[in-house]
């Protein structure tokens, strides 16, 4: 998959049925783009806690999120502490606690490159070393903790 015309892992070259033009599709994130992806990419898992100020304050777990941003931050800090202490893995915790649909994959977002995620998330992801867990990261979606896996 990733060796198709030198594409990064997880990317496929496809042809648009409507325009006939080639485009690039990421099988992990299900995002598509016209520009050929660069080799610069990371793979991360995350746990998202939404709050009332999130751009879409609902999730697979809850139709309407009612917690405040401060409550979401306290939850994230508590989850991070449990992971750091070795009590539980991010993947296991994300499966039950994350407000993102990636919860069913243990929070795995697959491989992504620059420009595919919200800026604060992207910057935090690329700054992490493989195996490193972020501090809380704030985006329009909510508050995340991110684990770089590749």
Q: Are 37 and 8 in contact (CB under 8 A)?
A: yes
Which residue in the list 41, 44, 125, 144 is annotated as catalytic?
144
134 in catalytic set:
no
Of 41, 100, 102, 125, which one is the catalytic site residue? 100
C-beta of residue 90 within 8 angstroms of C-beta of residue 105? no
Q: Say how many residues make up the chain.
A: 150
Q: Identify whether 46 is a catalytic site residue.
A: yes
- Residues 6+ positions from 99 with CB-CB distance below 8 Å: 48, 49, 50, 59, 60, 61, 62, 65, 142
Question: Would you call 51 a catalytic residue per the annotation?
Answer: no
Q: Which of these is catalytic: 31, 33, 116, 118?
A: 118
Which one of the listed residues 41, 46, 51, 54 is annotated catalytic? 46
From the list 43, 98, 102, 141, the catalytic residue is 141
Active site residues: 46, 100, 118, 141, 144
């Amino acid at each position: 998959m990733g060796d198709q015309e030198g594409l990064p892992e997880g990317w496929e070259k496809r042809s648009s049925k409507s325009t006939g033009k080639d485009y690039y599709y990421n099988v992990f994130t299900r995002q598509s783009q016209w520009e050929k992806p660069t080799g610069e990419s990371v793979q991360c898992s995350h746990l998202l806690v939404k709050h009332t100020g999130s751009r879409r304050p609902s999730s697979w777990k809850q139709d309407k999120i009612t917690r405040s941003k401060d409550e979401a931050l306290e939850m994230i800090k508590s989850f991070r502490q449990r992971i750091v202490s070795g009590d539980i893995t991010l993947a296991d915790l994300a499966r039950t606690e994350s407000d993102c649909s990636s919860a069913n994959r243990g929070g795995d977002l697959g491989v992504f490159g620059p420009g595919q995620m919200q800026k604060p998330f992207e910057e935090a992801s690329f700054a992490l070393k493989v195996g490193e867990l972020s501090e809380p990261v704030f985006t329009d979606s909510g508050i995340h903790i991110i684990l770089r896996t590749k």
